[in-house]
Amino acid sequence: MKSSAQHASSPASAFPRPRAADEAGPGPVARSTDLFDKARQFTRLREVQAMGLYPYFVPVHASGSTEVVINGKSGVMVGSNNYLGLSHDPRVVAAAQQAIADYGTACTGSRFLNGNTELHERIEHRLARLTGKEAALVFSTGFQTNLGVISALVGRDDAVFIDKLDHASVVDGCRLAAGETVRFRHGDLDELEAKLRHSRAGGKLIVVDGVFSMEGDIVDLPRIAELRAKYDARLAVDDAHAIGVLGATGAGTAEHFGLTGEVDLIIGTFSKSFASIGGFVAAEQVVIDYLKHHARSLIFSASMPPSACAAVLACIDILEQEPDRRLNVWKNAARMQEGLQSLGFDTGGSQTPIVPVVIGDDLLTFEFWRQLYDNGVFANAVVAPAVPPHESRIRTSYSATHTPEQLDFVLDVFARVGKGLGVI
Ligand code: PMP
Q: Does residue 8 lie in a domain region?
A: no
Q: What is the pLDDT of residues 366-389, one digit of tens each?
A: 999 999 999 999 999 999 989 998
Q: Ligand 1: distance of its center to the CA of 418 in Å?
A: 29
Q: Does residue 18 lie in a domain region?
A: no
Does residue 9 carry a pLDDT above 80? no
| Cβ atoms 174, 162 nearer than 8 A | yes
On whether both 203 and 156 belong to a single domain, the answer is yes
Which amino acid type is present at position 30? A
The Cα–Cα gap between 255 and 238 comes to 13
The Cα–Cα gap between 293 and 187 comes to 33
On whether both 174 and 301 belong to a single domain, the answer is yes
| Cβ atoms 259, 249 nearer than 8 A | no
**209 Cβ closer than 6 Å to some ligand 1 atom:** yes
**Which of the four pLDDT bands, split at 50, 70 and 90, describes residue 17?**
low
3-class DSSP state of 168: helix
Domain count, the chain: 2
| Cβ atoms 77, 83 nearer than 8 A | no
On whether both 299 and 393 belong to a single domain, the answer is no
Does residue 97 carry a pLDDT above 90? yes
The whole model's pTM is what?
0.93
At a CB cut-off of 8 Å and minimum separation 6, what does 11 contact?
A: none
On whether both 151 and 273 belong to a single domain, the answer is yes
Residue-level pLDDT at 192: 98
**Which of the four pLDDT bands, split at 50, 70 and 90, describes residue 23?**
low
**pLDDT higher at 44 or 281:** 281
Q: Does residue 330 lie in a domain region?
A: yes
Q: Does residue 169 lie in a domain region?
A: yes
The Cα–Cα gap between 193 and 162 comes to 12
Which amino acid type is present at position 260? T
Percent of the chain whose pLDDT exceeds 90: 91
Residue-level pLDDT at 11: 40
Percent of the chain whose pLDDT exceeds 70: 93
Residue-level pLDDT at 13: 63
**213 Cβ closer than 6 Å to some ligand 1 atom:** yes
Of the three residues 320, 337, 361, the one that is the final residue of a domain is 320
Helices of type H across 154-252: 168-176, 189-198, 221-230
According to DSSP, the β-strands at 62-63 and 67-70 are: antiparallel
β-strand partners of 52? none
The Cα–Cα gap between 133 and 145 comes to 17
Residue-level pLDDT at 166: 97
**Which of the four pLDDT bands, split at 50, 70 and 90, describes residue 311?**
very high
Other CB atoms within 10 A of residue 114 CB: 11
Other CB atoms within 10 A of residue 36 CB: 8
At a CB cut-off of 8 Å and minimum separation 6, what does 40 contact?
A: none
Q: Residue 101's Cα: distance from chain center in Å?
A: 31
On whether both 306 and 328 belong to a single domain, the answer is no
What's the half-sphere exposure (Cβ side, CA atoms, 13 Å) at 237? 31
At a CB cut-off of 8 Å and minimum separation 6, what does 216 contact?
A: 347, 348, 349, 350, 351, 352, 353, 354, 355, 356, 397
On whether both 68 and 123 belong to a single domain, the answer is no
Average model confidence (pLDDT) across the chain: 94
**Which of the four pLDDT bands, split at 50, 70 and 90, describes residue 1?**
very low
Q: Ligand 1: distance of its center to the CA of 144 in Å?
A: 9
Other CB atoms within 10 A of residue 50 CB: 9
- Atom 5 (ligand 1) nearest CA: 213
- Atom 12 (ligand 1) nearest CA: 142
Question: What is the position in ligand 1's atom list of the atom closest to the CA of 144?
Answer: 16
Peptide bond into 404 cis (omega under 30): no
Query: CATH no. for residue 376?
Result: 3.90.1150.10
At a CB cut-off of 8 Å and minimum separation 6, what does 188 contact?
A: none
- Atom 15 (ligand 1) nearest CA: 142
On whether both 149 and 235 belong to a single domain, the answer is yes
3-class DSSP state of 204: strand
**276 Cβ closer than 6 Å to some ligand 1 atom:** no
Q: Pick from 143, 126, 117: which is nearest to 314 by CA? A: 126
Does residue 98 carry a pLDDT above 70? yes
Q: How many residues does the chain have?
A: 424
> What is the residue range of 335's domain?
47-77+323-420
Does residue 132 carry a pLDDT above 50? yes
Q: Ligand 1: distance of its center to the CA of 34 in Å?
A: 34
Residue-level pLDDT at 28: 66
DSSP 218: B
β-strand partners of 268? 280
Give the pLDDT mean for 320-345. 97
Q: Ligand 1: distance of its center to the CA of 168 in Å?
A: 8
Of the three residues 291, 320, 349, the one that is the final residue of a domain is 320
**143 Cβ closer than 6 Å to some ligand 1 atom:** yes
Give the pLDDT mean for 183-191. 98
Residue-level pLDDT at 7: 38
Which of 213, 214, 265, 387 is the best mutation target for the ligand 1 pocket, counting ligand atoms within 8 Å of the beta carbon and taking the most?
A: 213
On whether both 214 and 334 belong to a single domain, the answer is no
Q: Pick from 385, 395, 393, 410: which is nearest to 358 by CA? A: 393
Query: CATH no. for residue 272?
Result: 3.40.640.10
β-strand partners of 237? 208, 266
On whether both 191 and 102 belong to a single domain, the answer is yes
Residue-level pLDDT at 10: 40
Q: Does residue 386 lie in a domain region?
A: yes
Residue-level pLDDT at 6: 43
On whether both 339 and 313 belong to a single domain, the answer is no
3-class DSSP state of 372: helix
Q: What is the pLDDT of residues 258-281, one digit of tens each?
A: 999 999 999 999 999 999 999 999
Residues recognised as catalytic = 213, 241, 272
**Which of the four pLDDT bands, split at 50, 70 and 90, describes residue 16?**
low
Does residue 155 carry a pLDDT above 70? yes
Q: Does residue 26 lie in a domain region?
A: no
Q: Does residue 373 lie in a domain region?
A: yes
Residue-level pLDDT at 8: 36
On whether both 225 and 329 belong to a single domain, the answer is no
Q: Pick from 212, 161, 153, 169: which is nearest to 189 by CA? A: 161
Of the three residues 292, 320, 348, the one that is the final residue of a domain is 320
**Which of the four pLDDT bands, split at 50, 70 and 90, describes residue 31?**
confident
Give the pLDDT mean for 310-332. 97
**367 Cβ closer than 6 Å to some ligand 1 atom:** no
**169 Cβ closer than 6 Å to some ligand 1 atom:** yes
Q: Does residue 411 lie in a domain region?
A: yes
According to DSSP, the β-strands at 67-70 and 234-238 are: unpaired
On whether both 146 and 250 belong to a single domain, the answer is yes
